[in-house]
A = this chain, B = another copy of it.
Amino acid sequence: MLLIGLLAGTLAGVIDLAVDWMTDLKEGVCLSAFWYSHEQCCWTSNETTFEDRDKCPLWQKWSELLVNQSEGASAYILNYLMYILWALLFAFLAVSLVRVFAPYACGSGIPEIKTILSGFIIRGYLGKWTLLIKTVTLVLVVSSGLSLGKEGPLVHVACCCGNFFSSLFSKYSKNEGKRREVLSAAAAAGVSVAFGAPIGGVLFSLEEVSYYFPLKTLWRSFFAALVAAFTLRSINPFGNSRLVLFYVEYHTPWYMAELFPFILLGVFGGLWGTLFIRGNIAWCRRRKTTKLGKYPVLEVIVVTAVTAIIAYPNPYTRRSTSELISELFNDCGALESSQLCDYINDPNMTRPVDDIPDRPAGVGVYTAMWQLALALVFKIVITIFTFGMKIPSGLFIPSMAVGAMAGRMVGIGVEQLAYHHHDWIVFRNWCRPGADCVTPGLYAMVGAAACLGGVTRMTVSLVVIMFELTGGLEYIVPLMAAAVTSKWVADAFGKEGIYEAHIHLNGYPFLDVKDEFTHRTLATDVMRPRRGEPPLSVLTQDSMTVEDVETLIKETDYNGFPVVVSRDSERLIGFAQRRELILAIKNARQRQEGIVSNSIMYFTEEPPELPANSPHPLKLRRVLNLSPFTVTDHTPMETVVDIFRKLGLRQCLVTRSGRLLGIITKKDVLRHMAQMANQDPESIMFN
C-alpha cells in the first residue's frame, strides 16, 4: 500500500508538472530555460511586479520569438497556427503510441477496472506497458487541449501500479481475491491524487469502482489514498502547498430561496448526463459498427484540429479546462482582475475588501456571458465526440466544466435579478440593497457537482470530492440537493451511468450489484443442459477409464466436470477442475507405474473392486472438490443471482434431492439477465 501510494503520487506529480509545461508550450517558450512553464518562467525573472505577473520579458509568445511581433493580426494568426500545430503534434504522438505499444491504454479505464474487480480477467490490461504508455500519452492528450480530463486515466494508472506491486508479493499474486482488494485500494489512491481528495477517493472506490468492498479494504484504501495525497503534496505541483485543487473561499452563507436555482442546476445536470450518455454511446456504437473505427488516428487528428480551431478564439476554451473551472468557482474579490468580475463599482462606497456587495454587471461581465454560452455549447458537443477515442480520456473535468459554466451563468443571472429587484418577495428577506447575498462562484460549484453526478450517478462520493476539491464545507446541503436532483432526473431517463453504459456497449461480463433481479424464473430455466440438449458431461466416481476421461477432456472445453456416483444414480459427490484433471493424469502417466489408457480412475477413498487381471487403478480424490456449490432446481433465479454476486462464484451445480440435474455458470446467469432485459444475450464478451 505504501509503495502504491508513493508511486501513484509521484506519477501524478510528474504528470501535473509535464502538463503544465506542455500546455504553455502551445503558446510560447521561456527564454531562460525552455523547460519552464509560463508561471515558473515569470517567477524566476525578477523584473516583474505583482500586477504584471503574466507579462515578463523572458516569456515569449511564438510570434514574438519567430517574427518579433507581439500584437496585430499577423502575430495573432501565427500564434493561432502554432497552437493548432502543437495540439496536432501532441495528439498524433499520443494516438500513435497507444496504437503501437499499448492498445489497452485508451479510454478512461474505469469500466474495465470495474469489470476486472467483478472477477473477469483481461490479460495485460494492468500491465507495465500499459502503465508506461498511459502515463506518457495522458500528458500528451491533456496538453493537446482536447476536451478530456486526467482523472479517470489516473485511476487506471494507479491500478496498474497496484497490479505491478501485487505481482511482486506471492501472497497477492497467487490469490485473485486478495489482488482485487489491492486494486480497489489502488483505485482510491488514483482518485486521491487526481483531485487531491483522499477521502473522496476512498468513497469513489467504494461507490463506483469496487464490486465487493470488505471493511479491511476500506482501511487499506484509506492508507493508500493518504500516502498518495501526501506524496503529491510533497511534489507540490500546484505551487501552493494546498492539497486542494480549486480552493475557494466564499464570504457569504447561502439562503433557503437559493435552493430553487440549485435544484434547477441539478435538473440541468441530469439532462446533461442523459444527453451525454445517449450521444456518446450512440457515437461509440457507430464507431464500433461502421468504417469509422478503422481510422482511429485520423479521427483523433480531426477532433483535435476542430477542438483547437474553435477553442483558440474564445478565452474560456483556450486555457486549460482546470484553470477555467478554477476561475469559474472563484468569488469576485477586490483584487480579481478577471473579466467575469468586471462589475460597476459605486464610488461612494468604501468597504473592507472581503465584503463586496452585489453590484450591477459591467460590460466585461456581459461579454463574458456570451463567450461562456458559446464555450458551453462547444464543450457539450465536442466532449460527446472526444470520450471513447483511442487515447486516454477522462470525463470528470469536462463534465465539471460544463456544469461550472452553466452554474456561473445562472449565478450571475440570479445576482443581477436580486440586485435590480430587491423588493421582490423572494429577495426581500435576505437581500437588502448593498448586501453581498449571491455568490455566483457557488452556483458554478453546484452546477459542476450536478453535471458530474448526472454523468456518473455518484452521490456521496461526489459531494465529498466536491468539498475536498473546494474546501467548501458549509455548502454540503446545496451540493447534496443538486446531486440528488441530478441523479433523479438522469435516472428517470435511464438507469445506467456512463461507466455501466460503456460496460454494456463493450459487452463485458459484469454482474451489476446495483440492479435488482426481479424476474420470477427458477434455476431450472437457466441451467444447462436445456431440454433436448445432450446430457451434461460428467465423470463417475469409480467406473471410467483414463482413456474415457481423456476423450471427454478433448471433446469438450468446459472448465470442469461434476463427479457423480454412477450414470444411473447421478448422485453428486463433487467437482473436478479441467486443469487439475489434465495435470494429474499427465503426472500419473509419467510417474506412476501401471497406469495405462484403460486403468480405472476413481475418486472414492477406497479403490473399487476390480477383476483380477485389470490394470492398476488411478486414485484422483486429490483433485476432487468435495464441496461444490449447489442449489436445487426450484431455487428462484433471484436467489441464484444474489449468491453469484455475493460469493463471487463462477459456476454452481443444480440438484434435485441429491441428483445432479445441470450446471449454471456465470455466463449463463449473465445471458439470462440480458435476455430478461430484452438485450441480445450474445453481445456479452467472455475471455
A67 contacts the other chain (Cβ, under 8 Å)? no
Which stretch of A47-55, A213-221, A532-540 is in the interface?
A213-221
Q: Which residues of B contact A647 (CB under 8 A)?
A: 642-643, 646-647
Q: Of B198, B480, B627, which contacts A631 at CB under 8 A? A: B627
**Does A215 lie within 8 Å of B572, measured CB to CB?**
no
Q: Which residues of B contact A230 (CB under 8 A)?
A: 477
Q: Which residues of B contact A513 (CB under 8 A)?
A: 214-215
Contact with B along A500-523 (1 / 0, CB 8 A): 000000000000011000000001
When chains A and B are docked, how far (Å) is the Cα of A468 from the Cα of B656?
55
**Does A571 lie within 8 Å of B657, measured CB to CB?**
yes
A432 contacts the other chain (Cβ, under 8 Å)? no
Q: Residue on B with the closest CB to A473?
A: B471
**Does B460 lie within 8 Å of A218, measured CB to CB?**
yes
Q: Which residues of B contact A229 (CB under 8 A)?
A: 476-477
Q: Which residues of B contact A639 (CB under 8 A)?
A: 627
**Does B216 lie within 8 Å of A514, measured CB to CB?**
yes
A12 contacts the other chain (Cβ, under 8 Å)? no
When chains A and B are docked, how far (Å) is the Cα of A468 from the Cα of B474?
9
Contact with B along A438-482 (1 / 0, CB 8 A): 000000000000000000000110011001100101101100110
Q: Could you tell me the distance in whole angstroms from the C-beta of A84 to the nearest C-beta in chain B?
A: 40
Q: Residue on B with the closest CB to A523?
A: B627
**Does B199 lie within 8 Å of A464, measured CB to CB?**
yes
When chains A and B are docked, how far (Å) is the Cα of A215 from the Cα of B471?
26
Q: Residue on B with the closest CB to A660?
A: B658
A641 contacts the other chain (Cβ, under 8 Å)? no
Count the copies. Answer: 2
Q: Which residues of B contact A171 (CB under 8 A)?
A: none
A202 contacts the other chain (Cβ, under 8 Å)? yes
When chains A and B are docked, how far (Å) is the Cα of A574 from the Cα of B631?
11
Q: Which residues of B contact A580 (CB under 8 A)?
A: none
Q: Residue on B with the closest CB to A563?
A: B657
**Does A222 lie within 8 Å of B460, measured CB to CB?**
yes
Interface positions of A from 615 to 664, Cβ below 8 Å from B: 626-628, 630-632, 634-636, 639, 642-643, 646-647, 655-659
Q: Residue on B with the closest CB to A212?
A: B646
Contact flag A473-B476 (CB < 8 Å), given A513-B215, A565-B657: no
Q: Which residues of B contact A635 (CB under 8 A)?
A: 626-627
Which stretch of A149-157, A240-248, A295-303 is in the interface?
A240-248
When chains A and B are docked, how far (Å) is the Cα of A651 from the Cα of B655?
19
Q: Of B219, B572, B628, B643, which contacts A459 at CB under 8 A? A: B219
When chains A and B are docked, how far (Å) is the Cα of A635 from the Cα of B647?
14
Q: Residue on B with the closest CB to A196?
A: B476
**Does A198 lie within 8 Å of B658, measured CB to CB?**
no
Q: Residue on B with the closest CB to A512?
A: B215
When chains A and B are docked, how far (Å) is the Cα of A634 from the Cα of B603?
14
A253 contacts the other chain (Cβ, under 8 Å)? yes
Q: Which residues of B contact A226 (CB under 8 A)?
A: 477, 480-481, 484
**Does A514 lie within 8 Å of B460, measured CB to CB?**
no
Q: Of B222, B474, B632, which contacts A626 at CB under 8 A? A: B632
**Does B657 lie within 8 Å of A572, measured CB to CB?**
yes
Q: Residue on B with the closest CB to A483?
A: B222
Q: Which residues of B contact A565 (CB under 8 A)?
A: 657
Q: Which residues of B contact A125 (CB under 8 A)?
A: none
Contact with B along A586-608 (1 / 0, CB 8 A): 00000000000000000000000
A233 contacts the other chain (Cβ, under 8 Å)? yes
**Does A215 lie within 8 Å of B222, measured CB to CB?**
no
Interface positions of A from 110 to 143, Cβ below 8 Å from B: none
A223 contacts the other chain (Cβ, under 8 Å)? yes
**Does A474 lie within 8 Å of B242, measured CB to CB?**
yes
Q: Which residues of B contact A219 (CB under 8 A)?
A: 459-460, 487
Q: Which residues of B contact A222 (CB under 8 A)?
A: 459-460, 480, 484
Q: Which residues of B contact A215 (CB under 8 A)?
A: 207, 513-514
When chains A and B are docked, how far (Å) is the Cα of A503 from the Cα of B647?
27
Q: Which residues of B contact A468 (CB under 8 A)?
A: 473, 476
A41 contacts the other chain (Cβ, under 8 Å)? no
Q: Which residues of B contact A243 (CB under 8 A)?
A: 474, 476-477
When chains A and B are docked, how far (Å) is the Cα of A608 from the Cα of B456?
59
Contact flag A223-B573 (CB < 8 Å), given A214-B513, A477-B230, A639-B627: no
Q: Residue on B with the closest CB to A522?
A: B627
Interface, chain A (partner B; CB < 8 A): 198-199, 202-203, 206-207, 214-216, 218-219, 222-223, 226, 229-230, 233, 241-244, 253, 459-460, 463-464, 467-468, 471, 473-474, 476-477, 480-481, 484, 487, 513-514, 523, 565, 571-574, 626-628, 630-632, 634-636, 639, 642-643, 646-647, 655-659
Beyond A219-B460, A223-B484, 14 additional contacts (C-beta under 8 Å) are A202-B460, A206-B206, A218-B459, A229-B477, A242-B474, A244-B473, A467-B473, A468-B476, A627-B639, A630-B630, A643-B647, A646-B646, A647-B647, A655-B658
Can you list 23 pairs linking A and B with CB atoms under 8 Å apart? A199-B464, A199-B476, A214-B513, A219-B460, A223-B484, A226-B484, A229-B476, A468-B473, A471-B473, A473-B473, A565-B657, A571-B658, A573-B656, A626-B635, A627-B631, A627-B632, A627-B635, A628-B632, A642-B647, A646-B646, A646-B647, A647-B647, A658-B659
